[in-house]
């Protein structure tokens, strides 16, 4: 009996010990990269992108080590395989999502667009990335995507009705960004007389900073439907200089 328990404890100890070793190596690598003289933008993006997913990779490596010691237990192998599959898809989905957001932000920064760090754009990228990642995970788990999409289509109507206000605000925010009637950093005056500088246009609301440093939160639909005047359009244009 004691020998059986001893055999069962070996893979558990090996698994957790391996995870600890891999996490220690990860911590040392990130510390060296952070102190490195080469602080190029590409390296910093790689660090930001892989910081959290690398923890999942350490857990995956530890589970792989545990599998080598626990070949006799099919239940453990199935559980370990399931966890490894989930962590693999989730981690690489996170890498893809964060990489795409970094690329978009870098491009918008290069063209000096005020949308470089817009929350709505980053949210859309995250949502699409994890939706695709979820479909890939379902296929890896043996679940038919066609049936899931059919069920999603049937339940989509109920979800859209329940989240009608949220969806309206989301599409209104996308409309504001595409129409560029209001940009980040603009100082605007609303029809009720309130003034503020646009800080961010998010999923549901637009945040303005007033002259008294107060934060004003406006639903995107209200802002899209209201009459807003950009302060830069109120400034008198300089008179053209006469040419001789």
CATH number for 223: 2.30.30.60
pLDDT at 34: 80
Judge if 29 and 104 occupy the same domain.
yes
Judge if 208 and 112 occupy the same domain.
no
Among 162, 188, 210, the domain boundary falls at 162
The answer as to whether 107 is a domain residue is yes
What are 2-37's pLDDT values in tens digits? 444 444 677 778 888 889 999 999 999 988 888 877
pLDDT at 59: 92
What are 58-114's pLDDT values in tens digits? 999 988 887 777 665 677 778 888 889 999 999 999 999 999 988 888 887 777 666
Rounded to two decimals, the pTM is 0.65
Number of domains in the chain: 2
What are 145-193's pLDDT values in tens digits? 766 666 666 555 555 555 567 777 777 777 777 777 777 778 888 877 7
Angle between helices 2-35 and 53-69 (to 10 degrees): 150
Q: Is 43 left (phi over 0), alpha (psi -120 to 50) or beta?
A: alpha
For residue 143, the 8-state DSSP code is -
The answer as to whether 186 is a domain residue is yes
What domain range is 215 assigned to? 180-231
């Amino acid at each position: 009996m004691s020998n059986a328990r001893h055999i069962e404890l070996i893979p558990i100890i090996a698994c957790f010990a391996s995870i600890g070793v891999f996490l220690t190596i990860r911590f040392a690598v990130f510390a060296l990269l952070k102190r490195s003289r080469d602080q190029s933008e590409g390296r910093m993006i790689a660090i930001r992108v892989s910081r959290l997913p690398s923890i999942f990779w350490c857990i995956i490596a530890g589970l792989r080590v545990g599998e080598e010691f626990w070949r006799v237990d099919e239940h453990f192998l199935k559980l370990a395989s399931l966890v490894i599959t989930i962590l693999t898809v989730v981690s690489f989905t996170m890498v893809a999502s964060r990489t795409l957001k970094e690329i978009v932000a870098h491009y918008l920064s290069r063209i000096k667009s005020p949308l470089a760090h817009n929350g709505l754009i980053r949210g859309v990228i995250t949502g699409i990335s994890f939706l695709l990642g979820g479909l890939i995970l379902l296929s890896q788990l043996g679940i038919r995507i066609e049936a899931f999409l059919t069920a999603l289509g049937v339940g989509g109507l109920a979800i859209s009705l329940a989240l009608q206000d949220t969806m309206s605000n989301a599409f209104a925010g996308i409309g504001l960004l595409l129409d560029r009637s209001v940009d980040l950093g603009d100082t605007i005056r609303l029809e009720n007389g309130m003034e503020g500088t646009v800080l961010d246009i998010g999923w549901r609301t637009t945040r303005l900073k007033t002259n008294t440093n107060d934060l004003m939160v406006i639903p995107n639909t209200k802002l899209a439907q209201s009459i807003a005047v950009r302060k830069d359009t109120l400034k008198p244009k300089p008179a053209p200089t006469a040419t001789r």
